[in-house]
Chains A and B, each alone.
Chain A
Amino acid sequence: MINPRFTQVIAVLLLALATLFTLAILVFIIGFILSKGLAHVDIDFILSNPEDMGRAGGIYPTIIGTLILSTLSILIAAPFGIGTAVFLTEYTRESRVTRIIRFGADCLAGIPSIIFGLFGFIFFVTTLGMSWSILSGSLTLAFMILPTIIRTSEEAIKSVPYAYRDVSFSLGATLWQTVRKVVLPNALPGILTGIMLSLGRSIGETAVVIFTAGSSLRTPQSLFDSIRTMSVHFYILAREGLSNEKAYATATVLIISILAINLISYWLMIRFISKRSG
């Protein structure tokens, strides 16, 4: 029989190698994109319009498109998501109803984005006649990020200590006053973490956006205009081989935005945890 101490050394070595390999993949992906793209990103690239289908010029309209679409989807989904979480945690006990609501949210979370794209196309774009527009796109994205916001808000609200609520009630506050002035402010960093995660997801989404918001390269004038996001622009540049240089540059801006969003949500989470345990 092999010495168990020896087996342990081998096992730990393999586990450490696998972890390092995973980290190396992350570093490679980010490093690869940045090293090829960073040189082509400057103020001009960010603030000027694309020319010749994106072969030249910048990506200004796609940045505007990304900002509008993802912000609007958050603005639509957040009240519903946070409201659901408040209802589940503060206004009701565990029952068949809460189980059904959670089951619905879990199912929604498991639906692949391409299905959301199909649905957004047939429901918002076609049936409701909103055509390919900012409105169709952000409503569909809102459906997609709703479960994430519900789940993270619920976790955040649950972690607010009961003593806080008791004090508020003992001062004569009503349930809603307690929720609004005590529970939600204390759960805010946790809720924001969920919102940042959803923001990252909407920014990176491609299929849904093409199906529901189209891919028009003009700067939008109203909510009923079609737009193109950075992810869609990057996909079209890469897929149709328009310009590798511009594709790398667009991917660089995309990756930096995602990194920034993740850093902010990480920072929020750390603050949230240290506040809770401190």
Chain B
Amino acid sequence: MKIFGENSIKNLLIVIAFSALTALFLILAFILLEGLPFIFNIGIKNFLLSSDWQPMAGKYGIFAMIVGSLWVTLGAIIVGVPLGLAGAIFLAEFLPRWMMRIIKPAIELLAGIPSVVYGFIGVMVLAPLIRDYIGGPGLSIMAASIILGIMILPTILSISIDSIKAVPQSYREGAFSLGATHWQTIHMATLPAAKSGIIAGIILGLGRAIGETMAVIMVAGNAVILPGSPLDSVRTLTANIALEMGYATGMHRQALFATGVVLLLIIMVLNYAATISIRNMNRKV
């Protein structure tokens, strides 16, 4: 009846357990092998610090896109953090448990909506509003920031709720016993104690914003220029890859993989920062 013995099952599981690491290794290896030689070929400085992107003319500078990615990510933080954090405080501290159990999954539903749908709403609703009432072409840093801010809101909200809930009850009792109001307790005792968890949530949101592709392609306008104002069109690193991958060959394709390498580096730095914050949170609580 027995096909596998206990030991062979254990060995099989060990092999399976390394699947995620193997996947990670394969991804890094193939992206780096395809992108790194290109970067060294044309020179790190020419690649990272020039804004001249004309693949047909052999010019591959992605500075404008790095700046573009940073702009929309910063904008997403400005939109998403206050909303996400406020929602988290309200749900965790002021609503009864059963209401939180209904509203939290509803807000998390925002994370399930496909990014193309966000992009479409951005094009049909948001961009015309910005064009008519604020100015510029509509498809802009501002449009991308608002859409991305909404997209990363559920990440920030969920993680913030978890870290606020993880603050020991004794902290709150201590503040109450000193005569603090509920709000004073929150911003003087609870939030400082939950800080590193909230920061980790914000960093993960940052990572999502900088890596988002389809929604940004649809609403950011994609012009390769150094933006001067939030109403200007920008192209992000991700948009650059997705827009040109369809027809790129040879050096041009390698340049897109090299763009991917830069994106990966930025994400890795962010993830490292998030891991450190989470570790701090665990140590404290």
Which residues of A come within 8 Å of B, CB atoms? 4-5, 7-8, 11-12, 14-16, 18-19, 21-23, 25-26, 29-30, 32-33, 79-80, 83-84, 86-88, 91, 100-101, 104-108, 110-119, 121-123, 127, 143, 146-147, 150, 174-176, 197, 200, 203-207, 210-211, 231, 234-235, 238-239, 247, 251, 254-255, 258-259, 261-262, 266
Contact = CB atoms under 8 A, between A and B. Distances in A.
Given A254-B117, A266-B105, A261 B112 contact: yes
Contacts of A234: 114, 116-117, 120
Contact of A114 (B14, B181, B211, B271): B211
Instruction: Name the prevailing secondary structure of the A interface residues.
Output: helix
Contact of A32 (B21, B125, B184, B210): B125
Given A26-B110, A206-B116, 15 more contacts: A8-B181, A19-B103, A26-B106, A29-B121, A30-B113, A84-B13, A87-B16, A110-B271, A112-B210, A116-B27, A118-B260, A119-B26, A211-B245, A234-B116, A247-B120
A118 B258 CA distance: 11
Contacts of B275: 106
Contacts of B9: 176
B109 A207 contact: no
A15 B86 contact: yes
B82 A18 contact: yes
Given A84-B16, A121-B245, A143-B27, A110 B86 contact: no
A147 B118 CA distance: 24
A26 B109 contact: yes
A105 B12 CA distance: 18
A113 B113 contact: no
A23 B263 contact: no
B271 A18 contact: no
B263 A18 contact: no
A122 B14 CA distance: 28
B14 A87 contact: yes
Contacts of A86: 13
Contacts of A197: 112
B255 to A, nearest CB: 12
A108 B20 contact: yes
B223 interface: no
B213 interface: yes
A8 B112 CA distance: 34
Q: Which 3 A-B pairs have the closest CB atoms?
A: A112-B211, A204-B114, A18-B86
Given A4-B184, A7-B183, A112-B263, A107 B24 contact: yes
A22 B242 CA distance: 30
A190 B226 CA distance: 47
A262 B20 contact: no
A264 B241 CA distance: 35
A200 B114 CA distance: 9
Contacts of A106: 271, 275
Interface of B: 4, 6, 9-10, 12-14, 16-21, 23-24, 26-27, 30-31, 34, 82-84, 86-87, 89-91, 94, 103, 105-107, 109-110, 112-121, 123, 125, 150, 153, 157, 180-184, 187, 204, 207, 210-214, 218, 238, 241-242, 245-246, 256-257, 260, 263-264, 267-268, 270-271, 274-275
A231 B13 CA distance: 35
B16 A238 contact: no
Contacts of B264: 111, 115
Nearest to B118: A29
B112 A114 contact: no
Contacts of B270: 110
A83 B13 contact: yes
A8 B183 contact: yes
Contacts of B23: 104, 108, 143, 146
Contacts of A122: 30-31, 34, 257
Contacts of B107: 22-23, 26
A114 B260 contact: yes
Contacts of B116: 204, 206, 231, 234-235, 238
Contacts of A119: 26-27, 30-31
Nearest to B239: A114
Contact of A25 (B18, B26, B110, B238): B110
B212 A112 contact: yes
B213 A8 contact: no
